[in-house]
Homo-oligomer: A and B are copies of this chain.
Amino acid sequence: MNRKLRMGMVGGGRGAFIGQVHRMAANLDGKIELVAGAFSSDPEKSRLSGEDFFLDPDRVYGSYEEMAKAEAAREDGIDFVSIVVQNHLHFAVAKTFLEAGINVICDKPLTVDLEQAKELKKIVDESGLVFALTHNYTGYPMVKEARRMVKDGELGRLLKIVAEYPQGYAVGDVEGERSGAISNWRADPKIAGKSNCMGDIGTHAHNLTKYITGLEVEELAAELTAFIPGRELDDDGNCLVRFTDGVKGIIYASQISNGDENDLTIRIYGTKASIEWHQEDPNELIVKYANAPRQTYRRGNDYLGEAAQANTRTPFAHPEGFIEAFANVYLAAAEAIVDQIDGNPAPDCGYDFPTVDDGVAGVAFIQACVDSSSNNAAWTKLDL
């Protein structure tokens, strides 16, 4: 196309963290332009956010329904919408835009329950439109390199996976008079869904296992806990996991791991080699062997595979981070959106972004965690 892609946004007004991240990811490469938005359910807040982003006031809407209708009708309407509302609204907003014929990039988790997830998948499949889910950690180049190594058999037969995602931000006020003070909509089951910790971040760890190895979780035994007094939803969860192909392992996530920041880590063990990746040190991939020196693969080098190289913007050791990884999801989705608009077929290799299927698997994972835990950690199969 000889123009930038036109993006709209639902949610993500002033002060919203994830909305700002989506905008920076879209801005970074100069190929996408934010032109419209319904940034808040409060029309005045939406309007002010529109000013912050230098938008045409006519394209700043008071509701997402209005926006979908108006933009679908415009000659120069948006090419896709970014949905960054709270979890419980993902389904309705996505459905509305898809039914208006507009491509979607949606924040995770896909929906707040499995029924919605499967219905949304149906809508997406029937629409012929692009639907990308921002499991952004798959956008890191060294995660793509990890995936390549598994696919190329460099690890041999896989044996074990340990994926963990400890955070500590929710522990500060466990006790004393401010007990429970750290709380947000993620702790509210009406908004967040059936799980807080596993839904918010456990699902990222789960998705990472799936993206890198191609394996599905078959069944799991989970213990979810709400350590903060007064919480309805879990702030910590530990799972024994049985993957397909006889692979076993552990997935855990936590928001009460005091002082841990955003320490998503995955270790994958195979008969020939093992790999280890830390989100807090994302430009490196550690490769371990039984009988040879440990290797550190570093982003930006020529010896890396195609995907790792294609998803990189700066030379080695000019560190890339969270926003660049997020932008890689946007770029991959943008490629599909351009093809959709231009009527081009998908490339043989497909596109490299998380889809509605990843979203359904994620919600099934959350559901299985909740079910297992309420059944004293009994083994529970994923309803895929």
Contacts and interface: CB of A to CB of B under 8 A. Distances in A.
B298 A296 contact: no
B295 A273 contact: no
A303 B298 contact: no
Please give the count of copies of this chain that the complex contains: 4
A273 B248 contact: no
Nearest to A164: B162
A62 interface: no
Contacts of A273: 258-259
A384 interface: no
A185 to B, nearest CB: 16
A34 B169 CA distance: 39
B280 A291 contact: no
A198 to B, nearest CB: 14
Contacts of A41: none
A168 B291 CA distance: 10
A314 B303 contact: no
A270 interface: yes
B317 A323 contact: no
Interface stretch (A89-97, A281-289, A328-336): A281-289
A223 B236 contact: no
B240 A377 contact: yes
Contacts of A295: 293-296
Nearest to A239: B240
B270 A160 contact: no
Interface in A67-113: none
A274 B290 contact: no
B313 A318 contact: no
Interface stretch (A20-28, A208-216, A361-369): A20-28
Nearest to A30: B27
B296 A269 contact: no
A289 B160 contact: no
A156 B258 CA distance: 11
A129 interface: no
A379 interface: yes
Contacts of A313: 20, 24, 323
A28 B24 contact: yes
Nearest to A297: B293
A317 B54 CA distance: 30
A44 to B, nearest CB: 18
A236 B221 contact: no
Contact of A2 (B51, B258, B267, B377): B51
Contacts of A240: 221, 223, 238, 240, 377
A292 B303 contact: yes
A291 B324 contact: no
Q: What 7 A-B pairs are tightest by C-beta distance, nearest first?
A: A259-B288, A261-B317, A262-B317, A319-B321, A318-B322, A293-B295, A321-B321
20 contacts: A21-B314, A24-B28, A24-B30, A24-B313, A159-B227, A159-B256, A160-B236, A160-B256, A168-B290, A171-B269, A236-B248, A238-B240, A254-B269, A256-B269, A259-B274, A259-B288, A262-B318, A282-B319, A287-B293, A376-B379
Given A171-B271, A282-B319, A314-B321, 20 more contacts: A2-B51, A27-B29, A156-B174, A159-B258, A168-B269, A168-B274, A175-B271, A240-B240, A240-B377, A250-B250, A256-B269, A258-B270, A258-B272, A259-B288, A262-B315, A262-B318, A279-B317, A291-B301, A296-B296, A319-B319
